[in-house]
Structure 1
Amino acid sequence: MASSRASPLLPAGLVVHQPAGRRHCAACRRGPLPLVVLESGTPRCVDCADLGHLVFLPRGDTALTRRSREESTLSAVVVRFNRRKGRYERQGVLVEEEALARAERRCLADAEARRRRRMRDARRRAVEDARFTEAFAEEIRRLFPGCPPERARAVAAHASVRGSGRVGRSAAGRALSERAVISAVVASVRHLETPYDRLLMSGVPRHEARRRIAADVETVLRGWAGAAPDVPG
């Protein structure tokens, strides 16, 4: 049967792999295989692992995935290893075909209610994001009263995009810590008021490029604040 939790990076339960390279079944010799089940490290095709009757449901629809697994007596998580990130990532699930059909009927029955809920959630997040962006801009103007208001709003909007991973969405950014706010302003000045981007494009290493434009950044910050706060590296 399919492998259970063989690694702390793998999800619990039955796991099927999308192999990065060419893999063949150790039992029937078929291959290369799009899906591989590892039994004590030995690759098997889904048929030899008794999972061949299941159908693949790609990730993307959370409700359909959850309900398909609820309806299916047997299911497995499909994963692929991301070498760059050093972790397994879910690609979807294998479920019984009839279970998938029942789950689809359940999702269709309450599709309108879920659509309205998503719309309500989206509106709520939009209001929260607008309030946070304005608070971020106000903190920029407090620290840098000479910063043009439209520039402060632009910096805040860029730094606080939900899901962007930028400083405004970090824990420090959400707490409006002074260091996080200054970091957002410094990044904006670095890209817009200095030749930093051109230096990078010409092959100058990042740390050296930052050293070369540090005085220019400080000059702008002093003009906006009267005296530049400590500039993060």
Structure 2
Amino acid sequence: MELVAPVVVEPLRRRRCAECGAGPLERMVLEFNTRLCLDCADLGHLVFLPRGDTALTRRAREGSALWALVVRHNRRRTRYERQGLLVEEAALAAAEAACLADAEVRARRRARDAVRRAAQDVRVRETLAAEIRRLFPRCPEDRVAEIATHASQRGSGRVGRTAAGRALDRGAVTAAVRASVRHVDTEYDVLLMRGVPRNQARTRVAPVIDTVLRAWRG
């Protein structure tokens, strides 16, 4: 049977509990569109564990018979984002003790993982740079390095981190070079700051981009 954890909301505007009138509420539960404080929702005995420490969060959650997910709405991204958990105090204490006991082991593991990821990043960047040089042999070396570094940044979702980019798809690599030329060698950013719609700005700078790419292809 799949477990479904209660969801606790950190309201952007402080509210009051519909049952006991307590408030303004730092955290609340929405139950059938009714705002409840944690005590009225039978979660008042739980303690808050902020997000950030993966091992501590996992252990506290596993050791807590009852736990709840804490979220807050991000207006800019128009979505709810996780802030942490509410867990039993005893479970949190046990999790903290367990994390303290193997802190050195986990620190060494993180260090090894960091070295491994750094080596992977170098390989991705160098491979992408080599393909840029092949497709655009007259591209200045400093721009090759700049484009490869920008496009392959870990966690960015940019071309170098997509499946097409890792496979050195010609279109994906060209898109990364084109994006660099658009921002560095044209007035595209200035046009955006002047309020020109993005599609219109791209159309206006397209001839300049094509000229630069032809020159770099040789």
Normalised-by-shorter TM-score class = over 0.9
Task: Report the equivalent of 1:203.
Answer: 195
Matched, 1:214 2:206: yes
Over the residues paired in the alignment, what is the CA RMSD in angstroms?
1.7
Pick one of 151, 154, 166 that aligns with 2:146. 154
Runs of 4+ in 1 over 4 A off after TM superposition: none
Tell me the SS of whatever aligns to 1:194.
coil
Tell me the SS of whatever aligns to 2:87.
strand
Distance in 1 of aligned mates of 2:190 and 2:70? 43
Matched, 1:70 2:65: no
Matched, 1:171 2:128: no
Q: How many Å apart are 1:38 and its aligned residue?
A: 1.9
Which amino acid is the alignment partner of residue 132 of structure 1?
V
Q: Percent identity?
A: 65
Cα deviations across residues 63-109 of structure 1 (Å, max 9, x unaligned)? 00111112222211111233443432211001111211111110000
Task: Report the equivalent of 1:141.
Answer: 133
Which amino acid is the alignment partner of residue 178 of structure 1?
R
Structure 1 regions of 5+ residues with no counterpart?
Answer: 6-10, 227-233
Distance in 1 of aligned mates of 2:164 and 2:171? 8
Q: How many Å apart are 1:135 and its aligned residue?
A: 0.6
Matched, 1:129 2:91: no
| TM-score, structure 1 normalization | 0.87
Which amino acid is the alignment partner of residue 165 of structure 1?
G
Distance in 2 of aligned mates of 1:12 and 1:97? 20
| TM-score, structure 2 normalization | 0.93
Q: How many Å apart are 1:191 and its aligned residue?
A: 1.4
Task: Report the equivalent of 1:36.
Answer: 28
Q: How many Å apart are 1:197 and its aligned residue?
A: 1.8
Cα deviations across residues 83-141 of structure 1 (Å, max 9, x unaligned)? 44343221100111121111111000000100000010011010001001111011111
Distance in 1 of aligned mates of 2:162 and 2:110? 24
Which amino acid is the alignment partner of residue 19 of structure 1?
P
Q: How many Å apart are 1:174 and its aligned residue?
A: 2.2
Q: How many Å apart are 1:168 and its aligned residue?
A: 1.8
Distance in 1 of aligned mates of 2:119 and 2:37? 49
Distance in 1 of aligned mates of 2:24 and 2:59? 31
Which amino acid is the alignment partner of residue 144 of structure 1?
F
Task: Report the equivalent of 2:10.
Answer: 18
The count of aligned residue pairs is: 217
Cα deviations across residues 7-58 of structure 1 (Å, max 9, x unaligned)? xxxx932211112333221110112211111222211100111111111001
Moved more, 89-98 or 204-213: 204-213
Structure 2 regions of 5+ residues with no counterpart?
Answer: none
